[in-house]
Chain A
Amino acid sequence: MFIIKNRYITIYHRLFHLDDRLLLIVAGSIAGICSGLAAVALRLSLESVLEWLHPLRHYWWAFTLPAIGALLSSLYLEKITREGAGHGVPEVIYSVSRYGGLLRFRSSYSRLISSFLTIGSGGSAGPEAPVVMSGSAIGSNIAKFLGLNDRQRITLVGCGTAGAIASIFNAPIAGLVFSIEVLLGEWKFVNIIPIAIAAVAGAQVSQAIIPEQVLFIHQPFDIMFADIPASLGLAILTALVSVLFTKSLRQVGNLAKKNSLPLWGRAIIGGSCVGLIGISMPLVLGEGYHFIQSMISETFSMGIFLTFVAIFAKIFATAMTLGWGGSGGIFAPCLLIGSLTGIVFHKTLLLFFPSVGCASQGAYALLGMTGLISGVMQAPLTGIFLIVEITGGYEAILPLILVSSISSTMSQYLEPASFYFKELMERGQFMRPGTDARILSDLSLKELIDINYVKVSENMVFRDFINILKRSEQNLFPVIEDETRVYKGVIQISVIRKYALDPDMYDMVFLNQIMDTEVITVSLEDDLQDVLDMMDSHNMDNIPVVENERFIGMIAKTKILDLYRRELIVQTDIK
């Protein structure tokens, strides 16, 4: 390892120092290959465990299988790796926006194992978010190994994500688009090329290892004229289902947090519920790729009513799995719910207009998937490109764009934050590059504080203070106690001006009598956003910083503006 690192340092200085784009492309493709391998490994192991567990499904106690899986997965995450449950995508987004994409090494395998336990045993969740987490952690750790800076690390996190998505769906463009649209949030030239290469590398890895088993077999579709108005109706339906899905995921999750059950108890309850639904409706179990494939290739044989019920069953099962302790993502459930919605719509359409000339049921399943992905993740481009790549052609591009854009716009109207961002927004951690929140969070009070303030004693006579005032340009004087040097208050020149011009007062007053003790103070740990809010609501231009009762310095609005502007220039003006 040490030799490799030394070698690398030599190469780095010879070759990459000239242009870090070359370095990012090389490192990005490595990240893409590694995360592609991780994704393939999860997919293959899921397939084999499903096969292995298949004979057990006929026993009466089969419904406990998801419970055992969820139990093991939550215990593994909680006790062994000490990472919170859930799908991990918000954590990656937060890390990208706040800590330059810094992720722990153990994140690169922990979610793979926990989601393998959850999904393999029948829990209703998708393997995509875990591979995104693991791919981004791989990218982040490659960047750490190479000693790259934050900006380059973020690019590599994007590369890992793109490789993982590209590999699991065999869809390089979807990987690229997802990585940029959902994870990084900015379309910058320096990012796009390495991420595109990583996505291609990831897709190639999956093709090389499992060449005959592409996830969804390509299907050509004939889109008729009647499909255009029909897709409008489908878009509205998928938007409603998306909002329902997002809301129930959150509601059921909140319900789990409210009760006082221990973690393992929650996992058992959640898993058993999923298992019980699975007895009558095996479609809800696992990631459901098999059923999606059957819907696309039109071998799906459920009736219209059962399909309609299946939508809700799948939504509920997914919410129970993810909210009550299981581990996994919502990508695959979105695809399954979307295709179910598409089929329900297609069947209803044929029921009312039996003679209408529209595309096949499989095409509507795909359109439904686009609608759900665009609606739930509010990532319309990811929805379009994923389906375009799955179908392997652009025949359906017009209805795809229609469904995707209408569904994402409508669901955004009903539910302003997407599923991935909602959590972050509630915690005030949603900071896209180049936004106000991001800049404010990057600036710390330590950078803004002005510590060159003359402090005065509270026992000083006014006359002595006037002498200091004559020679000073300060408008605010912090007052401290003599021996302990504890902060007592602030003298504001604007307030005492009329007394300062009255010589009769000079010997009558001590400084503790003219200081303002009610001025609000902040400490160095406070967020700049909160400090600015305080200044706004109290009409202050300067705010004292007090730490452990000691005066540290002042934060001035003028200084904030100065630094804010520089920060904005630095953050947004990278070629």
Chain B
Amino acid sequence: MELSVFDLSKYLGVVPETIERWVRQGKLPVSQKGVNYRFHTSELQKWAGKHNIYLNLSDKRKPEKGRESIIPLSCAVENGGINFDVQGNDVKSVLEASIKRISKIPDDFKQDLLDRLVKREQALSTGIGNGIAIPHPREQLRYLHDSIVSISFLVNPVDYKALDSKPVSILFFILCPALKIHLHLLSALSFCLRNNKFQGFLNSRPDPDQLIEKIEILQKTNPI
């Protein structure tokens, strides 16, 4: 196989000017001189081995990792589902009642998840104000296949020790198999919740379809 100066510069991580200088100084084995230099891969491998240079000719650059696994918030909400009229009078009972209704969580793990969520709330409340809380565990949940965001509308507002001390009536559960997606969803959610119109819309207890549609429109305006 033959390579051009440009290809080789990519593999070696230097600019084409450097390659040209090396050829001029006789430091690189070149198979065709003239206007366009050409390099034989077998000769290059030999040269790299001799000079102890890391040269991987099989792939140009590793693909940016993690990009493909990030899903938009609206899909995560679709995965998690929206539950109305969740019963309960304190933090623990509303969390328990909500978890029961999230179908994506295997039954065996529900108690464990509840413990984790309660522990997280004890460490620092996830109530972010305006009657909204974002309960989530601190660890990644490896048993989940997809990241889910589940919304619970409570019957009775609950004292959640939120930042603004207002009782909480809407819960956004963020449950992810990996921490990177968790951050992404958290950031996307906080962007939506910053929007005052969206807050009002939420308080009107909208249809699930309408809600997801609204989130979809909102996340398109998110610069990140």
Contact = CB atoms under 8 A, between A and B. Distances in A.
Interface of A: 416, 436-437, 459, 461, 496, 498-499, 502, 504-505, 507-510, 512-514, 529, 533, 536-537, 539
B109 interface: no
Contacts of A507: 124, 128, 163
B138 interface: yes
Size class of the B contact interface (CB-based, 8 Å):
20 to 34
B62 A513 contact: no
A513 B190 contact: no
Nearest to A513: B179
Contacts of A508: 126, 128, 134, 136, 186, 190
B224 interface: yes
B138 A505 contact: no
Contacts of A510: 123-124, 138
A461 B120 CA distance: 12
Given A508-B136, A508-B186, 8 more contacts: A461-B124, A499-B183, A499-B187, A504-B194, A508-B126, A509-B186, A537-B54, A539-B62
B134 A537 contact: no
Interface SS of B by simple majority:
loop
Contacts, number: 51
A513 B182 contact: yes
Contacts of A502: 187, 190-191
B26 to A, nearest CB: 17
Nearest to A512: B138
B183 A514 contact: yes
Interface string B104-132: 00000000000000000001101010000
Taking each of A505, A533, A537, which has the highest tally of chain B beta carbons within 10 Å of its own beta carbon? A505
Interface centre among B56, B134, B163, B187 (most CB of A within 10 A): B187
A504 B138 contact: no
A492 B193 CA distance: 27
A234 to B, nearest CB: 29
Most chain A CB within 10 A, of B13, B54, B126, B183, is at B183
Interface of B: 13, 50-52, 54, 56, 62, 123-124, 126, 128, 134, 136, 138, 163, 179, 182-183, 186-187, 190-191, 193-194, 224
Q: Which 7 A-B pairs have the closest CB atoms?
A: A504-B190, A536-B54, A498-B224, A513-B179, A533-B54, A510-B138, A508-B186
A505 B62 contact: no
Which of A459, A461, A508 has the largest number of chain B CB atoms within 10 A? A508
Contacts of A496: 183
A420 B185 CA distance: 62
A505 B187 contact: yes
A436 B52 contact: yes
Nearest to A416: B50
A509 B62 contact: no
- Chain A contact residues: over half helix, strand or loop, or mixed? helix
Contact of B138 (A437, A499, A513): A513
A510 B50 CA distance: 48
Contacts of A533: 54
A536 B122 CA distance: 44
B52 A513 contact: no
A378 to B, nearest CB: 15
Contacts of B134: 508
Nearest to B61: A539
B190 to A, nearest CB: 4
Contacts of B163: 507
Contacts of B194: 504
Contacts of A509: 183, 186
A498 B187 contact: yes
A512 B128 CA distance: 20
A512 B194 CA distance: 25
Residue with the highest number of chain B CB atoms closer than 10 Å, among A461, A502, A510, A513: A513
B93 to A, nearest CB: 23
A131 B224 CA distance: 73
Contact of A504 (B13, B52, B193): B193
B154 to A, nearest CB: 20
A488 to B, nearest CB: 12
A418 to B, nearest CB: 14
A533 B54 CA distance: 7
A537 B55 CA distance: 9
Nearest to B56: A537
Contacts of A416: 50
A534 B211 CA distance: 47
B149 to A, nearest CB: 14
B187 to A, nearest CB: 6
Nearest to B127: A507
Contacts of B190: 502, 504-505, 508
Contacts of B224: 498
B34 to A, nearest CB: 26
A539 to B, nearest CB: 7
Contacts of B123: 459, 510
Nearest to A489: B179
A55 B115 CA distance: 93
Nearest to A514: B183
A507 B126 CA distance: 8
A459 B194 CA distance: 26
B47 to A, nearest CB: 12
Contacts of A529: 52
15 contacts: A437-B52, A498-B224, A502-B187, A504-B128, A504-B193, A504-B194, A507-B124, A508-B186, A509-B183, A509-B186, A510-B123, A510-B138, A513-B183, A514-B183, A537-B56
Contacts of B54: 533, 536-537
A537 B128 CA distance: 42
Nearest to A536: B54
Nearest to A503: B190
Given A504-B190, A509-B186, A514 B179 contact: yes
Nearest to B54: A536
B169 to A, nearest CB: 19
